[in-house]
Structure 1
Amino acid sequence: MRKKTFTLGIFGGGQLGKFLVQAANKLNIRTFVFTDSIDSPAIYYCDDFIISSYENKKKLDFFIKNINLATFEFENIPFKTLDYVEKKINVSPKPSIIKILQDRLKEKTFLNSIGIKTTEFYYLKKINKKKINNNVFPALVKTIRLGYDGKGQIFFKNKKNFL
């Protein structure tokens, strides 16, 4: 077997990170995972890993020195972290995309602006009972940031149930 000479740095060690590591292994790519959770499944498959806060600059600098390219496996890596890393090494996709991915309103607006249709959506800053019509129900209300896998979501069957 050839020696692994390229090291991919992966922020996040969840299930998608694990799949990414497994795919990289098949391509003889060395992997180094940076995660903030000891329960990350990717750490059992990668070549190296760091478990630390994503804001720890000392650990980030060590990580950067030992990889050729950085990526992230989910959208909740702090933008500040990816921006810091990009100043020292290539990050793909670019960290600027994370600002869009971390905000559902920006994400849907962006997708619609480039011709990709999404489900109909409304931005609720505060609830105005008079402006809500029955045609929007049933409705799924989501937080703009940080909800995933059903977290940060509430389903409403009808207007009565909503108010």
Structure 2
Amino acid sequence: MRRRSVPLMLMLMLLSMLAAPLAQAVDLVRVVKSERQLYLLENGTVVGQYPVALGRQPRGHKQREGDLRTPEGRYVLDKKNAESAFYRSIRISYPNDDDRARAAALGVPPGGGIMLHGQKNGFGEYAAYAQRFDWTEGCIALTDADMDALWARVAVGTPIEIVP
């Protein structure tokens, strides 16, 4: 009986591994604003790519609160929110010390609340239209389906690099 149970157990283990999702955590999220693309990277290799919409004034680095720009630089994805007003969201650690100093030198608040997020709740069905435009107040928007894929592969603490 023991001989039969060992191969059966091995086969069951193999089947359970094959049935498990193959999504792996990534070690870097890169957004290329000029391409309107978000890339998921693992050890320098692109393992996912998604189109994005940006702030309504997409050129240049965010300077202050209300300028409708998406920041540029290296940050950390520091908090997930499954109860967001925009489907799901992951907070970007903007502003950093340099952003605060730059805004202080200008005498303006740096702003904050910059997120990766899905569509506004109740408007997910319009994503094919909405994603053709830069419509956020400085955040990075994805379709809800793409946000689900991102959510599954990005852990809190993952760095994000936003480049022109």
Q: Give the alignment's TM-score, normalised by structure 1.
A: 0.22
Q: Give the alignment's TM-score, normalised by structure 2.
A: 0.22
Bigger helix share: 1
